[in-house]
Amino acid sequence: MNIKQLLFYIKVTRITVSTFTLILIAFLSYELFFASTPYANVPFLLVLQAINTLNLVALNLISAFINRNI
């Protein structure tokens, strides 16, 4: 794998993770502030921590995939 492919994978990874994060934030914000669901009682900091954890898991999975293919 050359440098151009690696940079492309990194760019795709960043776009994927940021898109996933935005969708998750939008959904959880809706659940927290507008919907009368059990999620409305979840503290906002715990939600942000969950988003951070999911981002780290996604980044680790994608980087492991990239490292396997180099």
| Chain centroid offset of residue 52 CA | 7
> What does the alpha-carbon distance between residue 27 and residue 21 come to, in Å, rounded to a whole number?
10
**Model's pTM, two decimal places?**
0.44
> pLDDT band at residue 1, thresholds of 50, 70 and 90?
low
Instruction: Render pLDDT for 20-32 as a digit per residue (tens, 0 to 9).
Output: 778 777 777 777 6
Instruction: Render pLDDT for 14-61 as a digit per residue (tens, 0 to 9).
Output: 877 777 778 777 777 777 676 665 655 667 667 777 777 887 787 777
DSSP H helices in the chain: 3-33, 44-69
- The mean pLDDT value for 4-9 works out to 79
